[in-house]
Every structure is written in structure tokens, then in C-alpha cells.
Structure 1
């Protein structure tokens, strides 16, 4: 009886940790995708850079 209880506890712990791992991977992928989508607009010419918000657009530099 004690062996079966130990086995069930370890099995539940294993699946819980597996669930946490997949959740972490999912959140990491979401963060990377939103970060990549946010930087895609900053690379277009004529827009001020996100890294240098004080920079002027290219039309005003000339």
C-alpha cells in the first residue's frame, strides 16, 4: 500500500512538473513572438527608433 501511494505521489509530481515546463515554454514563445512583432515596426524607415525615442524621423533630419 505504501509503495503504491509513493508511486502515485511521484507520478503526480512528474506530471505537475511537466505541465509547468510546457507552460513556461508557451509563455516564453509568446514573449518572443510579441517582442519580434514589436521590433518589426521599428525597422521601417521614417519612423523614430524605439531605442532612441529622442531621434528625429528621417524627413526632419534633412
Structure 2
């Protein structure tokens, strides 16, 4: 996963815990998860549009 090992991930988690505090970490994680889902849906939508354009091009030819 991006070349990060368990130790590096734990260090990042501890730093995030110190910066944001334990109360805000669930909110931040939820927001990050929502952003990733939204991004993936956007990418899938673009791929669908590209596939539809290719299909229309083949139908016209």
C-alpha cells in the first residue's frame, strides 16, 4: 500500500491522533471515505461515457 509498512502507518495514525484528537478522528475518517467514494463514482462515470462514445462511433461506422 504505497510502500508503507505497518510501522509507518502506526506513526501516521499517532501523529493524526495528536493533531486532531480522538474526538475528531472518526469524523475525519468518515469524510475521507466519502470523498474517496465520490471520486471513484466520478471516475466510473467518465469510463461509462467513454464506452458509450466508442459504441456510438462503431454504430455510425
1:12 to 32, 49, 58: 32
TM-score by length of 1: 0.63
Larger Rg computed on CA atoms = 1
Structure with the higher helix share, 1 or 2: 2
Listed as ranges, the gaps of 5+ residues in structure 2 are 1-20
Runs of 4+ with deviation above 6 angstroms:
none
CA RMSD between the two structures: 0.7
Listed as ranges, the gaps of 5+ residues in structure 1 are 42-62
